[in-house]
């Protein structure tokens, strides 16, 4: 399990915040909810970790919306890079 004990909050880039809404209609508040709800599946994204460690999360918002998040940790804060609804394959993995 990913260790969230040293996380102090969230850091939002205005561009990513708007991009996630424009492209996938995922609000930044929904993204934050995912980290407080269970189950939450977090894995390292080695493909996109060339310059900084990246992670993927499968989780759900308070409304039960199943989301996929790509994020990194910067200065003890979660910085969501991308957010969208889970694909069918991801939903099956999340359900297990």
Question: pLDDT by residue (tens digit) across 46-57?
Answer: 887 778 899 999
Over range 5-12, report the average pLDDT. 94
pTM for this one? 0.92
Least confident stretch, 18-32, 45-59, 69-83: 45-59
Over range 8-24, report the average pLDDT. 92
Over range 41-70, report the average pLDDT. 93
User: Would you say residue 63 has pLDDT above 80?
Assistant: yes
Q: Judge contact between 86 and 67, C-beta under 8 A.
A: yes
Over range 46-73, report the average pLDDT. 93
Helices in 1-96 by DSSP H: which ranges? 14-24, 28-34, 88-95
């Amino acid at each position: 399990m990913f260790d969230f004990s040293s996380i102090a909050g969230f850091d939002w880039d205005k561009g990513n915040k708007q991009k996630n809404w424009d492209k996938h209609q995922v609000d930044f508040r929904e993204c934050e909810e995912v980290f407080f709800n269970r189950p939450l599946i977090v894995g390292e994204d080695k493909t996109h970790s060339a310059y900084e460690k990246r992670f993927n999360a499968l989780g759900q918002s308070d409304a039960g919306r199943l989301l996929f998040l790509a994020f990194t940790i910067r200065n003890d804060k979660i910085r969501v890079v991308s957010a969208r609804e889970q694909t069918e394959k991801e939903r099956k993995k999340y359900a297990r």
